Amino acid sequence: MEMGFVFDLVCNSKTVNFYKRYKFFKNIITVNEDNFLKNNILLNRKYDQILNLSYSRSYLSDLICSKFNAKNKITFKGDNANQHQDSLEKNNHNYSEIINCSSPNLPEILKFLKFFKHLYPTIFNDPILPKIDLSEEELKWARLFFKNHQLNKDTTICFYPGTGTSVRKYVNYRNLLSSIQDRLGASIIVLGTINEIKLAKYCTDGLKNVINLCGQTSISQCMSLIKNSRCTLGGETGLAHIACSLSIFNTTVIGGGHIGRFMPYSDFSSLVLNPTSCYYCNWYCTQERVKCITDIDPELILRSLISSWNNFNLSKTSIYANYTYDAEGIISKFFDYFDIDFESFKSDSKIFVKLKELS
């Protein structure tokens, strides 16, 4: 290791196969709430440092850190999105050091930079952008899949309609996908979990040249298919981040619950959003409908997708947004860690943003 450290990783069973590709973990430990306290071998291990890198810490992650034997246990001060504030403050006492990021809407990628700069100031100076390198075996699998299904890389879109929680889900893809096929002649591969099979069928009903793989692929296979496609379309979910990490152009529909926190960070993204004054609610929506998602104009998504299709890249992230009288003020407030170009916003509903350097 460059820092002279040996790392063990603790993760859940859903992501373990993804992390196995990285050789810098000596051990990868899978846990869940049921098996953790029964794992005596795990609890008896001794470490110099325990790093909990979750800003929105869960009770389980805090429980895991409390039980490990370590000289130093370090985490973010964080927010209460995933556990009650009283529980969060109580669990803070289990850590030897808590790093304060000062602002919850500091982009996640800058939170990590601040965390590691604090601990190792001579090593970390710039944000570390996520990057995935696929094996030749994975790439070969995708090429064979495309060949067997008569798909062309230049005309294939990977589409993922689901999101981690229903409140973030955009459901107006149906007519949009028909327009995409009419305009671009695209084939569509649908990716997602078994829970998204019905949603995928609803979104693609009546369309030709669609392959619905929801619930049928591993993370590795999803990554390979995305890498072998022209671009992707979907919500702010893991597959959107995978597209960024693979340098694949993507159109991502984002809501306001954590606006600016997880995206954007990649020049390969083209985001679509609806500016609302109730942004950054941590997804505890108090409105009659989730208007930051439901009121997004499908035409803007189509224009964004065409931009991704044409690999339009100005070394900035493009954002297509519903234009209203107060939209610039809302975007400026919640994207305060970005340089923003509003020049063509009023005329074209389009802005460009670039992540600022962390001072």
The DSSP result for 235-270, as a single string, is ESSHHHHHHHHTT--EEEE--STTTTTS----TTEE
CATH code, 136-355:
3.40.50.2000
Is residue 190's pLDDT more than 90? Answer: yes
pTM confidence score: 0.90
Pairing of strands 210-212, 350-355: unpaired
Residue 78 token pair: 């964080």
Pairing of strands 350-355, 317-321: antiparallel
Mean pLDDT across the stretch 116-131?
83
Instruction: Report cis status (omega within 30 of 0) of the bond before 264.
Output: yes
In the chain, CATH 3.40.50.2000 covers 136-355
Phi, psi (5° rounding) for residue 332? -60, -40
Q: What local confidence, expressed as pLDDT, does residue 161 receive? A: 94
Mean pLDDT of the chain: 88
Q: What local confidence, expressed as pLDDT, does residue 174 receive? A: 87
Q: What local confidence, expressed as pLDDT, does residue 216 receive? A: 95
User: Which of the given ranges, 84-88, 125-129, 162-166, has the highest pLDDT on average?
Assistant: 84-88
> What separation in angstroms does the CA of 125 have from each of 112, 119, 130?
11, 12, 15
Q: What local confidence, expressed as pLDDT, does residue 39 receive? A: 59
Is residue 166's pLDDT more than 60? Answer: yes
* Cα torsion 129, 56, 287, 197: sign: positive
Q: How confident is the model at residue 36 (pLDDT cuts 50, 70, 90)?
A: low
Mean pLDDT across the stretch 252-271?
91
Q: What local confidence, expressed as pLDDT, does residue 128 receive? A: 80
Q: What local confidence, expressed as pLDDT, does residue 169 receive? A: 87
Separation of alpha carbons 201 and 89, rounded Å: 44
Separation of alpha carbons 347 and 333, rounded Å: 21
Mean pLDDT across the stretch 294-307?
92
**Interval 72-93: pLDDT, tens:** 999 999 888 888 999 999 999 9
Task: Considering only residues 104 and 335, tell me which one the structure prediction assigns the higher pLDDT.
Answer: 335
Mean pLDDT across the stretch 148-161?
96
Is residue 1's pLDDT more than 50? Answer: no
Q: What local confidence, expressed as pLDDT, does residue 301 receive? A: 94
Separation of alpha carbons 157 and 201, rounded Å: 16
